[in-house]
Amino acid sequence: MTQSGALNELVERTVEGMGYEFVELERLARGLVRVTIDTTAEGGISLEDCERVSDQLTHLFTVEDIPYERLEVSSPGVERPLKRARDWDRFAGELAHVELFAPLHAEGFPEAGRRKLDGRIISIEGESGAETITFDFFEVFIARTPTAAVTALRGRRKKTAEVPPVRVTFPLSDVDNAHLLAELNFKG
C-alpha cells in the first residue's frame, strides 16, 4: 500500500471511529492536509464537529509522525463529492453532475457521446469493485443567484415541450469526478 493510501485508511478509521462519515482526504501544496467529513444526522456538520475531528487528527499525526504544515477539517458543503459506492447509494434520487474518463455512447446522445452529465441518480448495483450506476441524464436548470433563478424560470416557460431524460448506465470505475447539484431556494 502506498504511503498516501495508508494515511487515507488511518484518517478514515479515526474519523469513522468518532461517529462521522469520512468523505475524502487531500494532500495539497505547502503541507496542507484537507479532510472532509459528513454526518447523516439532522443539521449536518457543525464548527464544533470540525474542531473535535481536527483535535483528534492533530494528536494522531503527532503520534504517527505524519508530516504536515496545516490541517483543515470541513464539511463537504451542498455540492458534496460522490467518491464511493455508498455515497451513490445514499444519494439515490438526488441531482448530480458526473464527469466520466471517456465519452459515454447512448441512444439520445450525439454520435461522439458525452463525458459530462447532469441529471438524477437512480441507483447503484453490483458487487464491490464492479458497481454499475443507473442515471437519468437531462438538462438541469440550477440557479446560483436570485437573478439567475428568475432568468431560468423565464427561459423554462418559453420551452414548448419537455425533453424526456435519457437513462444510462455506467460502471462506477468510469467516473472521474462527481458531486451533488444543490437546489437552492431564493424565495425566502
CATH of the domain at 54: 3.30.300
Do 94 and 29 reside in the same domain of the chain?
no
Domain containing 133: what range? 83-178
Q: 120 and 95, same structural domain?
A: yes
List residues bridging with 133 in a β-sheet: 124, 170
pLDDT of the residue at 160: 42
pLDDT tens-place string over residues 22-69: 999 999 999 999 999 999 888 889 999 999 999 999 999 999 999 999
Q: How many domains does the chain have?
A: 2
Whether residue 25 is found in the same domain as residue 104 = no
Q: Are residues 93 and 55 in the same domain?
A: no
Are residue 97 and residue 166 in the same domain, yes or no?
yes
Residues 6+ apart with CB under 8 A from 147: none
Mean per-residue pLDDT of the chain: 87
97 and 169 housed in the same domain: yes
Name the more confident of 61 and 158.
61
> 138-149: string of b/e by CB count within 10 Å (b at 16+)?
beeeebeeeeeb
CA atoms of 91 and 94, how far apart (whole Å): 6
The least confident of 34-38, 60-64, 124-128, 164-168 is 164-168
**Taking 70 as the threshold, does the pLDDT of residue 83 lie above it?**
yes
**Range of lowest pLDDT (18-27, 43-52, 80-89, 142-151):** 142-151
Give yes or no: residues 50 and 98 share one domain: no
Task: Identify whether residues 63 and 9 lie together within a single domain.
Answer: yes
